Chains A and B, each alone.
Chain A
Amino acid sequence: MKLARKITIALTLLAIAVMTALETLEVRRELDRSAIDMQHDHRLLGHTLAGSIARAWQEEGEAEALTLLEQANRFQAQVHLRWVWLDGAQGHTAPALSLALLRTLRGGQDGSMVDESPAGSGVLRSYTPVFINTHLGAIEISESLDEEHQHVRSTVQNAAIATCAIAVAFLLAAMAMGRRLVGRPVNQLVALAHRIGEGRLEERVHLRQNDELQTLATAMNRMAELLLTAREKIALETAAHLATLEHLRHADRLTTVGKLASGVAHEMGTPLNVVLGRSKMISSGEVVGDEVAECAQIISQQALHMTRIIRQLLDFARRRAPRRAPENIAQLVTHTLTLLRPLATKRSATLVSEVPDSLVLEVDSGQLQQVLTNLVMNGIHAMKRPGTLRVRAGPARAAPPTETGSVETEWIRLDVEDEGEGIRPEDLPHIFDPFFTTKDVGEGTGLGLSVSHGLVQDHGGWIAVRSEPGHGSCFSVYLPPGGHSCQAGS
């Protein structure tokens, strides 16, 4: 139910209650006044007759006195007069009066009582005491209350009709007013709120009334205006923010391009210079005989070196999506270590695999082997003294780096741990940057770790590193555990 209707009905019910109460009080007052008037009339009539009756009784006897009463009775249409003995004299039965009334009458005062009759509306009986010799009698004046009650009923009925009429009129007027003053403006305000909610901030509402709702409408209009201003401001700020971001991205791209260009220039500069110098020696005739062949061989070596760099660069740029298949990791590690063993032996490094035989993962075997090769080769290069390089694997709980989420879950971790020189703390943040290398010139291009990092990311994992300068490093490759089965131990 709407608020205006609720208020209207509540007010109407209240008005009906108040009017009914007032009408009831008025009817009661009317009844009391009427009763007093009737009693007063009875008293007047009783006193008027009492003297004549007493005198007639004294002078002309009982029969004449009662005749006089009977005659007086004939002239009264509304009232009925009769003689009653109050002390039971002459063998008559005294009327059933209350002790209080009897006491009043015996004291010479007149009194009244209402004789309730089961059928009618009751009778008002008034008694005027008359002493005949030593006996107490009284003129009883009886008047039916039917007419009085009829009057009350009619009054109540009229009052009820008037109340109902007023209530209906009040209800209709209040509803019309409520709809006009409350319902319609509230609907307008609700519609405005909905439109603002839908983002139509240019909408306004205008109420032609001067009350609280009009104040609310003004406040809502002002709110919409402020929201519109704020939205325009946010739009401008967002555009500026996006422009800044785009600018930063562009700058970042330029920086990356610059870094790549510097890296390429650095890697290619020396071999190109050698090629240039040696070819000039040949063309100028500076070298002859076997020296020409020697120069040509050097040129060929440098060209191969540059080809290798370009191939790595292309691998870095043209990373293909991993083609996954269930792969036995122990076999893959063993195969990789077998290929690298000659290099390790040359550097007096021992390669050990501690990977469980049953570990199977959904990986691109070629790409994972490339990652392992890079990590193991880095480890071998880091070991200037004889030592052991271990490859381990197993389940581990870990949280991915913050940019990809931070919930700790189950992963498969492949550790490549060397006993080499370790990585300087200041170098650690850069080890995955393209072309960053701490190896001697010619030993590495600085692309291996960068490529490995990208390949592991393509598998949904990441590479973590911990290193203690002078004691060695451990590179941990985290891979999603999908499709693996692993037994404890190695």
Chain B
Amino acid sequence: MKQPHPRADAPRLLLAEDDAEMRCMLSRALRRSGFHVTELRDGHETVSLLSHCVTQGPEQMPHLLISDVRMPGCTGLEVLAHLRRSHQRLPVILITSFGDEQTHEEARRLGAAQVIDKPFDLDELCAAAWTLVPAS
């Protein structure tokens, strides 16, 4: 499928989603919206990339992380907890279809910027993502 190309100064966004179809669709929508998207397939891959970015310096850090909650390896909540342990204030949007109150509460406690329940409108996700990136 033909992918839109974002501008060079587009905000960098990490997208962690284990379902290939979902990942592909979200990535496409976010790119169209103007983000530079890096796709990740599971929790381990996400944590690994984030750790790498931290060692590379703040300029290498992405501007936003959108992660599914339930993923193989480690969950979106665990990725968020890892980020907070690394003292990274990176804004995070969690998407979940297991949206019980406990998940929402845990996400809020860990400082998630937003928790969005599946199914959601792609435009709404893009709009939410843009509110969280610095207006540069």
Give the interface of A toward B (CB within 8 A). Answer: 258, 262, 265-270, 272-278, 280-281, 286-287, 291, 294, 298, 301-302, 440-442
| Contact of B71 with A441 in the complex, beta carbons under 8 Å | yes
| Contact of B21 with A274 in the complex, beta carbons under 8 Å | yes
| Contact of A273 with B18 in the complex, beta carbons under 8 Å | no
| Contact of A442 with B19 in the complex, beta carbons under 8 Å | yes
The chain B residue with its CB closest to the CB of A273 is: B119
Q: How far is the CA of A101 from the CA of B53 in the complex (A)?
A: 154
CB distance from B129 to the nearest CB of A (A): 15
| Interface residues on chain B, size class | 20 to 34
Most buried by A among B26, B98, B121: B98
B2 close to A (CB within 8 Å): yes
Contacting residues, chain B, for A266 (C-beta < 8 A): 70, 97-98
| Contact of A441 with B1 in the complex, beta carbons under 8 Å | no
- If the complex has contacts A265-B97, A302-B21, A441-B18, are A273 and B32 also in contact, measured as CB distance less than 8 A? no
Select which of A274, A280, A291 is within 8 A of B22 by beta carbon. Answer: A274
Contacting residues, chain B, for A269 (C-beta < 8 A): 96-98, 117-119
B100 close to A (CB within 8 Å): yes
CB distance from B124 to the nearest CB of A (A): 11
Name the interface residues of B6-56: CB closer than 8 Å to any CB of A: 18-19, 21-22, 25-26, 28-29, 32
CB distance from A264 to the nearest CB of B (A): 10
Most buried by A among B28, B97, B117, B120: B97
Q: Could you pull out 30 A-B pairs where Cβ atoms are within 8 angstroms?
A: A262-B98, A265-B118, A266-B70, A266-B97, A269-B117, A270-B19, A270-B97, A272-B118, A273-B25, A273-B97, A273-B118, A273-B120, A274-B21, A274-B25, A275-B119, A276-B121, A277-B26, A277-B122, A278-B25, A281-B25, A287-B1, A291-B1, A301-B21, A302-B21, A440-B18, A440-B72, A441-B18, A441-B19, A441-B72, A442-B19
CB distance from B54 to the nearest CB of A (A): 27
Contacting residues, chain A, for B19 (C-beta < 8 A): 270, 274, 441-442
Contacting residues, chain B, for A268 (C-beta < 8 A): 97
Interface of chain B: mostly helix, strand, loop or mixed: loop
Q: How far is the CA of A136 from the CA of B5 in the complex (A)?
A: 181
Give the interface of B toward A (CB within 8 A). Answer: 1-2, 18-19, 21-22, 25-26, 28-29, 32, 70-72, 96-100, 117-122
The chain A residue with its CB closest to the CB of B99 is: A265
Contacting residues, chain B, for A267 (C-beta < 8 A): 97
| Contact of B18 with A277 in the complex, beta carbons under 8 Å | no
CB distance from A443 to the nearest CB of B (A): 10
Which 9 interchain pairs have the tightest Cβ spacing? A269-B97, A269-B118, A272-B119, A273-B119, A266-B98, A277-B25, A266-B97, A274-B21, A440-B72
CB distance from A22 to the nearest CB of B (A): 101
Q: How far is the CA of A101 from the CA of B22 in the complex (A)?
A: 150
Q: How far is the CA of A287 from the CA of B25 in the complex (A)?
A: 12
Contacting residues, chain B, for A291 (C-beta < 8 A): 1-2
| Contact of A294 with B98 in the complex, beta carbons under 8 Å | no
Q: How far is the CA of A245 from the CA of B22 in the complex (A)?
A: 44
Contacting residues, chain A, for B28 (C-beta < 8 A): 281
Q: How far is the CA of A4 from the CA of B63 in the complex (A)?
A: 106
Q: How far is the CA of A72 from the CA of B134 in the complex (A)?
A: 173
Q: How far is the CA of A302 from the CA of B20 in the complex (A)?
A: 12
- If the complex has contacts A276-B121, A280-B122, are A265 and B98 also in contact, measured as CB distance less than 8 A? yes
- If the complex has contacts A302-B21, A441-B18, are A276 and B97 also in contact, measured as CB distance less than 8 A? no
The chain B residue with its CB closest to the CB of A272 is: B119
Contacting residues, chain B, for A270 (C-beta < 8 A): 19, 21-22, 97, 118
Most buried by A among B26, B32, B71, B119: B119
Q: How far is the CA of A300 from the CA of B92 in the complex (A)?
A: 32
Given contacts A269-B117, A270-B19, A277-B26, 17 further A-B contacts (CB under 8 A): A262-B98, A266-B97, A267-B97, A269-B98, A270-B97, A273-B97, A274-B19, A274-B21, A274-B25, A276-B119, A277-B25, A277-B122, A280-B121, A280-B122, A440-B18, A441-B19, A441-B70
The chain A residue with its CB closest to the CB of B123 is: A280
CB distance from B5 to the nearest CB of A (A): 15
Contacting residues, chain A, for B1 (C-beta < 8 A): 287, 291, 294
CB distance from B63 to the nearest CB of A (A): 23
Q: How far is the CA of A274 from the CA of B71 in the complex (A)?
A: 17
Q: How far is the CA of A211 from the CA of B99 in the complex (A)?
A: 78
The chain A residue with its CB closest to the CB of B25 is: A277
Q: How far is the CA of A270 from the CA of B21 in the complex (A)?
A: 9
Contacting residues, chain B, for A442 (C-beta < 8 A): 19
Most buried by B among A258, A274, A301: A274
Q: How far is the CA of A485 from the CA of B2 in the complex (A)?
A: 64
CB distance from A461 to the nearest CB of B (A): 33
CB distance from B92 to the nearest CB of A (A): 19
Contacting residues, chain A, for B118 (C-beta < 8 A): 265, 269-270, 272-273
CB distance from A276 to the nearest CB of B (A): 5
CB distance from A187 to the nearest CB of B (A): 70
Contacting residues, chain B, for A276 (C-beta < 8 A): 119, 121-122
Most buried by B among A274, A277, A278, A440: A277
Q: How far is the CA of A291 from the CA of B72 in the complex (A)?
A: 30
The chain B residue with its CB closest to the CB of A280 is: B122
CB distance from A251 to the nearest CB of B (A): 16
CB distance from A364 to the nearest CB of B (A): 34
Contacting residues, chain A, for B25 (C-beta < 8 A): 273-274, 277-278, 281
The chain B residue with its CB closest to the CB of A298 is: B21
Contacting residues, chain A, for B18 (C-beta < 8 A): 440-441
Contacting residues, chain B, for A258 (C-beta < 8 A): 100
The chain A residue with its CB closest to the CB of B117 is: A269
Q: How far is the CA of A273 from the CA of B97 in the complex (A)?
A: 10
Q: How far is the CA of A275 from the CA of B96 in the complex (A)?
A: 16
